[in-house]
Amino acid sequence: MPDVHDLIREWWDRDSRSYDNAKTHAVSDPVEAAAWRAALADALPPAGPRVLDVGAGTGALSVLAAELGYRVTALDLSSGMLREARRKAEERGLKIEFVVGSATEPPPGPFDAVMERHVLWTIPNPVDALTAWREAAPEGRLVLFEGVWGSEGLLRRAGELGAEVARRLLGSPPDHHSPYPEEIVSQLPLARLSSPTPLVEAVYEAGWRNARIRRLRDVEWAIRLHEPFGVGWLEHRARYALIADAPAS
């Protein structure tokens, strides 16, 4: 049986061909992009420092951070994803370093901040990854852009089903090329979380300190604005930035 990391890489390589069809993946909507710029400026250290974007995907946040003046290194397991990210950077004349590799083996630092967006749930060993990021930013900051994705009872599941039906009727493309394989999900400790608690616990277990959470209400609002009628409300999820400090900071 293939290694879980190989399965994950292959799935995201295939998904790179259609990933940006979803506006919120690509952050292609100008209002959502503006909301994300505000979130980045609020969560990261003042512009200028080195930032490692783990699981950068097609480069949505890497590009926005580089536009704000950060020196960005984009890390991703999928070469297909980073190919799209590199194209975006070149089109905008941005200087971003791209590294194909595992989240648990970041490039040499030191970085002033490590950030990710919706990545930790895809990692089989999240505490190992968080520990490696702390070692890459020994005096830096951790910024996790996450959401509450797990189903919370019958009402939430009904909303998910309603959104799926609405997307089909409206001809709206799905967020991914296929469902995430159950054989992978079963090996992901942080998949389908209905609370940030396990994530906060993992952050502390990895040695980070002073964890604090900020709700990303402007991002939520911007996403609802550009989704098809009704779908934004049915698919609404609480999104937040979880910020923590390295012990030496």
Give the least confident one: 44-58, 148-162, 166-180: 148-162
Average pLDDT, the chain: 88
Q: pLDDT digit string (tens) for 191-215?
A: 888 899 999 999 999 999 999 999 9
Higher pLDDT, 99 or 232: 99
- Write down the pLDDT at residue 94: 97
Position 178 confidence tier, pLDDT thresholds 50, 70, 90: confident
Position 148 confidence tier, pLDDT thresholds 50, 70, 90: confident
Whole-number Å distance between alpha carbons of 249 and 245:
6
User: How many of the other CB atoms lie within 10 Å of CB of 241?
Assistant: 21
Beta strand 239-245 with 141-147: parallel, antiparallel or unpaired? antiparallel
Whole-number Å distance between alpha carbons of 220 and 244:
22
103: tokens are 């989240």
- pLDDT exceeds 80 at position 30: yes
- Write down the pLDDT at residue 81: 95
Q: Specify the residue for token string 């389908």.
A: 192
Residue 53: exposure state from Cβ atoms within 10 A (0-12, 13-18, ≥19)? buried
Using CA atoms, how far residue 21 sits from 14, 25, 88, 129, 157, in Å, is 13, 8, 15, 29, 24
- Write down the pLDDT at residue 87: 97
Domains of the chain in sequence order: 4-245 (3.40.50.150)
Position 164 confidence tier, pLDDT thresholds 50, 70, 90: low
- Write down the pLDDT at residue 237: 82
Whole-number Å distance between alpha carbons of 243 and 145:
9
Using CA atoms, how far residue 247 sits from 12, 131, 207, 214, in Å, is 33, 12, 7, 21
- Write down the pLDDT at residue 149: 74
Over residues 91-107, mean pLDDT: 97
Position 13 confidence tier, pLDDT thresholds 50, 70, 90: very high
Q: What percent of the chain has pLDDT over 90?
A: 65
Position 110 confidence tier, pLDDT thresholds 50, 70, 90: very high
- Write down the pLDDT at residue 157: 54
- pLDDT exceeds 60 at position 161: no
Over residues 206-234, mean pLDDT: 85
- Write down the pLDDT at residue 22: 85
Position 176 confidence tier, pLDDT thresholds 50, 70, 90: low
Position 20 confidence tier, pLDDT thresholds 50, 70, 90: confident
Position 150 confidence tier, pLDDT thresholds 50, 70, 90: low
The closest alpha carbon to 123, from 48, 167, 184, 57, belongs to 184
